[in-house]
Chains A and B, each alone.
Chain A
Amino acid sequence: MAALPNTKVSSAGSLHGRIEIALVGTSHHTAPLEVRERIAFTAEQSLEASRELRQRGVLEEAVVVSTCNRSELYGVPSAEMPDVTGAMRDFLASFHGMPRAELDRHIYCWSGADAVRHLFRVAAGLDSMLLGEAEILGQLRSAYGQALDRGFTGPVLNRIFQGALEVGKRVRAETEVGARPMSVALAGVKLAERVFGNLRGRSALIVGAGEVAEQVVEHLRNRQIGSLRVINRSWDRAAELASRMGGEAVAWEKLSEVVASPDIIVTSVASEKPVLTREMLSRALGARGGRPIFIIDLGVPRNVAPEVAGLYNLYLYNIGDLGEIVEQNKRAREAEIPRAEAIIAEHLGRFEAWRTALEAGSIVDELRERFRQHREVLLRERLASLEHLSAEDRQRIAGITEEFIERVLHEPTERLRNGRAMRGRLGAIEALRHLFALDEKGEGGEDRE
């Protein structure tokens, strides 16, 4: 990646010159888990890294985002830093004690609008392993909030992180990207909500154990389910599971008794024959006055006899049904990507407009400064040979040349500050900067900064 040109952000937060953003990171797209583990930052390490990057003069503003699937350094380069992404990669390698060559194989670098677009896509969940997942938005908010509290951010990163949080919220509110459940466990719980509405205070029975069943329990707990019973062939296992899940253990022999009380039943038993039969559940429905039962059967082979599905007010979903729904939802989420990208493009456009407006404003000041330098040199050279001029005349000539500069700059100043079309033309501003050599040192070796 090419070195980034100068960015000048004063400590007071006012911006001059070009506004640059640099990103160096790794994610599940570029690195396997064992590498991501080595490059990950704890919350304290994130802050320490941001502090060091600023202290070493690599970055003016810094935010470190680190989750289980990504570690990314976002920053606004210091004016003095010629190869900022190189410096950031060096820092990352030394911070984690990893050879730079190895690190480079798993790293991506973006700058300018590409870095901002990447952050917006991350916030929207489009770059996540599970498309549209909502957790990343909270993680971004937390990383940004901590950096903001410690003064590691400035006007540029504040702008893009606040924009990213807005993008994340809008994408989830205005598109289906994050709307439908994407895991078997969550799909089961969401379907139960279609029957019972709010699950707070409802009761559940977990028959057997398994990873997905535990995920279901977690979702139910998040929804403040009332009572939770756990039943297993092995009493010890039931007791252990109940203690871990925060429920009550029940002896296997009491299965046909307790099956009548819960609103939701989750089965995950290794059994050749169904453990819940039509007769058992028919009796249960009668005993509970016909109130609905929702069953999530996670067992393979199935734990609930298929003919149970015909029982009135009983809703049965097995792992095949739930898997199919998750697949449907995945396709539906993917179909929503263009709408999410449109929101990202809209916010990116807003950021670019803000950026070019600031740059347009600052370029006029730089032009004025450049013209004044030329004027001073010219007056010094020419007036030296005109000895017959009085001090008053010299003063008048100086005043006229000053007025000339202001008149020349008046029109472009107005156009740059007020012309919306002009502000959008980043290329035109760059051309102007190049035309007047504003990135170069001034005459006599003066640094125009």
Chain B
Amino acid sequence: MPSHLNFLAVALYAGSFVCYVGVLYAPRVWLGRVATLLLVAGMASHYFALLARSHGTHTVPYNDLYGSMSLFAWLLGLTYLGLEILHRQRSVGAFVTLLLLVWLSVLAVVTPAEMPAPPPARGPLFAFHVTLNTWAYAAFALSFVLSLIYLVQDRVLRSHHPGAVFWRFPALDVLDRMSRSSVAVGLAALCVGVVSGLIWRHRLTGAYSYGDPKVIVTLLILAVYVAYLQLSRSAGWRGARAAWLCALNFLVVLFSYTIVNLYWTSFHRFF
């Protein structure tokens, strides 16, 4: 059982969170590096826990709530690490690691962590499809968090009454750029993921399943995120309005991930 690896990952994420909070209080380079290293170490531990689970089920974790949510959290962390390196910005790290911590802790409490029975073999293309779509959702979740911070920061700036925490928040420009990068990663993953899913389905049944509610909602999500990327650089939408659009579209993602998966489509119901 990889439970000890999960515990280790949570402990390392907690250490990383503490260091990222320290960076918010005093931007010391060495502390930021320690925060990143702890996050990388936590993700390595988390990866081996997921790997052990994958070996047990002979596929990527997708057919049980614990496994798929854990994979989601790992991909969220991975996306954040990419953004941190790309934008050379650590001021969001505290929020992301807190999200990871809460996510994994809640997961550990509310879902059974024991290994599920292996699902029917569906092949590597299917695993690729599932992984990429989960990655897309994780990237969209990250952009959702960034957009919410943007909206709070914008409101505080307009209120003219900045509190103690305000001076520690990332700048609007940084949040905007990171959110767009995150959505771009999510869109790329979703496009390839959807196409690989369609191909896999075609191989299996000889037909493309355009009418599947999951596909329709996913295409809607995709269209809104493309619009977000475009509008976030236009005069009337740049800034808070684009952040609202991004945040609201993530609610559709959640809807797709839960209601659509569980009640509207039989093809994407895994647990």
A290 near B172: Cβ-Cβ < 8 Å: no
Assess whether B103 is interfacial by the CB under 8 Å rule: no
Q: Is the CB of A194 within 8 A of B169?
A: yes
B56-109 CB contacts (< 8 Å) to partner A: none
A332 to B167 alpha-carbon distance, docked (Å) = 12
Contact check, B173 vs A173: say whether CB atoms are below 8 A apart. Answer: no
Q: A313 an interface residue at 8 Å Cβ cutoff?
A: yes
Give, as a whole number of angstroms, the nearest-CB distance from A366 to chain B.
45
Give A256 to B25 CA distance when docked, in angstroms.
41
Answer whether residue A273 sits at the interface, using C-beta atoms and an 8 A cutoff: no
CA distance A315 to B171 in the complex (A): 13
The distance in angstroms between the C-alpha atoms of A232 and B109, with both chains bound, is 66
Please state if B173 and A195 are interface contacts (CB–CB under 8 Å): yes
Q: How far is the CB of B127 from chain A (nearest CB, A)?
A: 39
A contact residues around B173 at 8 Å (CB): 195-197
A292-B239 CB under 8 A given contacts A194-B169, A325-B162: yes
* Cα A325 to Cα B241 with chains together (Å): 27
Across the interface, A290 reaches (CB within 8 A) one of B164, B171, B236, namely B236
Q: Contacting chain B: which of A3-11, A174-182, A350-358, A419-427?
A: A174-182
A241 at the A/B interface (Cβ < 8 Å)?
no
Residues of chain B lying within 8 A (CB to CB) of residue A325? 160, 162
Size range of the chain B interface in the assembly? 20 to 34
Chain B residues whose CB sits within 8 angstroms of the CB of A332 once the complex forms: 164
Find out whether the CB atom of A315 lies under 8 angstroms from the CB atom of B167.
no
Interface size on A, as a range, is 20 to 34
Contact A194 B157 (CB under 8 A): yes
B-side contacts of A312, CB under 8 Å: 236, 239-241
CB within 8 Å of A: which B17-56 residues: 25-26, 28
Beta-carbon contacts under 8 Å, B224-260 to A:
233-241
Closest to B173 in A: A197
Of the residues A179, A193, A315, contact of B158 by C-beta under 8 Å: A315
Closest-CB distance, A172 to chain B (whole angstroms)? 7
> Chain A's interface: helix, strand, loop or mixed, by majority?
helix
Interface flags, B139-166, vs A, CB<8A=1, else 0:
0000000000000010001101110101
Whether A180 touches B238, Cβ cut-off 8 Å, given contacts A173-B25, A173-B28, A197-B173, is: no
A399 adjacent to chain B (CB < 8 Å): no
- The answer to the question of A190 belonging to the interface, with a C-beta cut-off of 8 Å to chain B, is yes
The interface residues of chain A lying within 8 Å CB-to-CB of B219 are none
Q: Which A27-85 residues have a C-beta within 8 angstroms of B? A: none
* Interface residues as binary, A178-200 with B (CB distance below 8 Å gives 1, 0 otherwise): 01100000000011011111100
Closest to A198 in B: B171
Select B172's contact among A173, A194, A317, A321, beta carbons within 8 Å: A194
| Chain A 306-325 interface 0/1 with B at a Cβ cutoff of 8 Å (1 = within) | 00010011010100010011
* Chain A residues, Cβ within 8 Å of B233: 289
A286 to B160, CA, bound (A): 24
B174 at the interface (CB under 8 A from A): yes
B171 near A196 with CB under 8 A, answer yes
Q: In this assembly, does A15 line the interface, its C-beta being within 8 Å of a C-beta of chain B?
A: no
Chain B residues whose CB sits within 8 angstroms of the CB of A194 once the complex forms: 153, 157, 162, 166-167, 169, 171-172
Q: How far apart sit A328 and B164, CA to CA, in the bound complex (Å)?
A: 10
- Minimum CB–CB distance for A402 against chain B, Å: 55
| Measured CA separation A291–B234 after assembly (Å) | 9
Task: Select A286's contact among B26, B153, B235, B239, beta carbons within 8 Å.
Answer: B235
Q: Which chain B residues lie closer than 8 Å to A315 at the CB level?
A: 157-158
Interface residues as binary, A285-308 with B (CB distance below 8 Å gives 1, 0 otherwise): 110011110000000000000000
Known interface pairs A197-B174, A290-B236, A292-B172; A191-B157 also in contact (CB < 8 Å):
yes
Interface string of A336-369 (1 = CB under 8 A from B): 0000000000000000000000000000000000
Rounded to whole angstroms, the CA-CA distance of A334 and B167 in the bound complex is 17
How many angstroms from the CA of A286 to the CA of B236 in the assembled complex?
8
Q: Are A190 and B171 in contact (CB under 8 A)?
A: no
Interface residues of B in 155-204 (CB under 8 A from A): 157-158, 160-162, 164, 166-167, 169-174
Given the interface pairs A195-B157, A289-B234, the reply to whether A173 lies near B171 with Cβ below 8 Å is: no
**Complex interface: chain B residues within 8 A of A190 (CB):** 167
A293 to chain B, nearest CB (A): 11
* A193 engages B234 (CB within 8 Å): no
Q: Pick the contact of A317 from B160, B235, B239 — CB < 8 Å?
A: B160
A290 touching B238 by the CB < 8 A rule?
yes
In the complex, which of the residues B161, B162, B241 has the most CB atoms of chain A within 10 Å of its own CB atom?
B162
What residues on A are CB-neighbors of B237 within 8 Å? 290
Q: Could you tell me the distance in whole angstroms from the C-beta of B87 to the nearest C-beta in chain A? A: 10
Distance between Cα atoms of A198 and B236 in the complex (Å):
24
Assess the A291–B238 pair: CB atoms within 8 A: yes
How far apart are the CA atoms of A176 and B160 in the complex, in Å?
Answer: 20
Chain B residues contacting A191 (CB-CB under 8 Å) are: 157, 162
Given the complex, which residues of B lie within 8 Å of A324, measured CB to CB? 160
Shortest A328–chain B CB gap in Å is 8
Chain B nearest CB from A189 CB (Å) reads: 13
Closest Cβ neighbor of B160 among chain A residues: A321
Q: How far, in angstroms, from A122 to B48 measured CA to CA in the complex?
A: 52
| Contact, CB under 8 Å: B25 / A193 | no
A195 touches B235 (CB 8 A): no
Q: Is the CB of B171 within 8 A of A193?
A: yes
Interface CB pairs A-B, < 8 A, 12 = A174-B25, A180-B167, A195-B157, A195-B171, A197-B174, A198-B171, A289-B234, A290-B239, A309-B158, A312-B236, A312-B240, A312-B241
Residues of B whose CB lies within 8 Å of any CB of A are 25-26, 28, 153, 157-158, 160-162, 164, 166-167, 169-174, 233-241
A residues in contact (CB < 8 Å) with B = 172-174, 176, 179-180, 190-191, 193-198, 285-286, 289-292, 309, 312-313, 315, 317, 321, 324-325, 328, 332
6 closest cross-chain pairs (CB), A and B: A290-B235, A197-B171, A173-B26, A290-B238, A197-B173, A321-B160
Additional A-B contact list (13), CB under 8 Å, known A290-B236, A315-B157:
A194-B153, A194-B157, A195-B173, A196-B172, A197-B171, A197-B173, A197-B174, A289-B234, A290-B237, A290-B238, A292-B172, A325-B162, A328-B162
